[in-house]
C-alpha cells in the first residue's frame, strides 16, 4: 500500500488555491520599495505530500519577480520545509524550515547573506497574510522586506480545487 500524507501534510491545504495579492515592499539592497500586485497559484501535488507554488509579482504594469516554492512536511526533522527558487539570482543553499503555531506557518530561510523569515497567517478560507523579514545579524534584529494580503480569486471558490 502506498504511503499516505499525514495530518501535517494536510495543514498545507489551507494555502492551496488561486490567489491575488496586494503587497507593500520595503527598500532593500536589491529592490526599491513600493506597492506591488501578485498572482499566486498553489497546488496540492504528489499525492498530497507537496504544495507547489507559482508566484508572479507585478510592479508598474510589468512582471518583476517570478518564483517557485515547494512546501512539504519532513517527519524526520519534525518540521515544514520550503524549497524556494526565484529570478532574483540567489540560488537556495538549503530549504527553509519551520512550523505552524495556530493558523500561522513560519519558516526561516538561511543563506550566507541573511536569514529570511516568511510568516503565513491564515485569516480565513479566502484570505491569508504574508510577511517577509530579513536579519543580517543572525536573528538578533529583523527588517521588513514585504507584507502582503492575498485573497482567493473568484474562479477558485474552494481551497482544494487545485488538488491533483
CA distances from 150 to 8, 123, 144, 159 (A): 23, 10, 18, 13
Nearest to 19 by CA among 85, 61, 73, 69: 69
Residue 28: the pLDDT is 84
Residue 158: the pLDDT is 61
Q: What are phi and psi of 14, to 5 degrees?
A: -60, -25
Residue 159: the pLDDT is 54
Domains in the chain (CATH in brackets) are: 7-152 (2.40.128.20)
Residue 77: the pLDDT is 95
The one-digit pLDDT tens for each residue of the chain (164 residues) are 888 999 999 999 999 999 999 999 999 877 889 999 999 999 999 999 999 999 999 999 999 999 999 999 999 999 999 999 998 877 777 899 999 999 999 999 988 788 999 999 999 999 999 999 999 999 999 999 999 999 999 888 665 544 44
Alpha-carbon distance 128 to 151, whole Å? 7
Alpha-carbon distance 11 to 113, whole Å? 31
Residue 160: the pLDDT is 57
Residue 157: the pLDDT is 64
Amino acid at each position: 500500500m502506498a504511503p499516505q500524507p499525514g495530518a501535517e501534510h494536510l495543514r498545507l491545504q489551507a494555502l492551496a488555491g488561486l490567489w491575488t495579492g496586494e503587497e507593500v515592499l520595503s527598500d532593500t539592497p536589491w529592490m526599491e520599495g513600493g506597492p506591488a500586485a501578485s498572482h499566486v497559484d498553489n497546488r496540492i501535488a504528489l499525492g498530497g505530500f507537496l504544495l507547489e507554488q507559482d508566484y508572479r509579482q507585478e510592479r508598474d504594469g510589468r512582471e518583476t519577480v517570478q518564483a517557485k516554492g515547494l512546501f512539504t512536511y519532513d517527519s524526520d526533522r519534525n518540521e515544514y520545509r520550503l524549497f524556494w527558487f526565484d529570478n532574483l539570482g540567489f540560488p537556495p543553499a538549503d530549504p527553509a524550515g519551520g512550523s505552524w503555531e495556530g493558523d500561522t506557518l513560519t519558516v526561516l530561510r538561511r543563506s550566507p547573506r541573511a536569514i529570511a523569515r516568511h510568516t503565513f497567517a491564515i485569516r480565513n478560507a479566502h484570505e491569508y497574510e504574508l510577511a517577509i523579514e530579513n536579519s543580517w545579524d543572525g536573528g538578533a534584529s529583523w527588517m521588513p522586506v514585504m507584507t502582503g494580503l492575498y485573497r482567493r480569486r473568484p474562479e477558485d471558490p474552494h481551497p482544494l480545487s487545485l488538488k491533483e
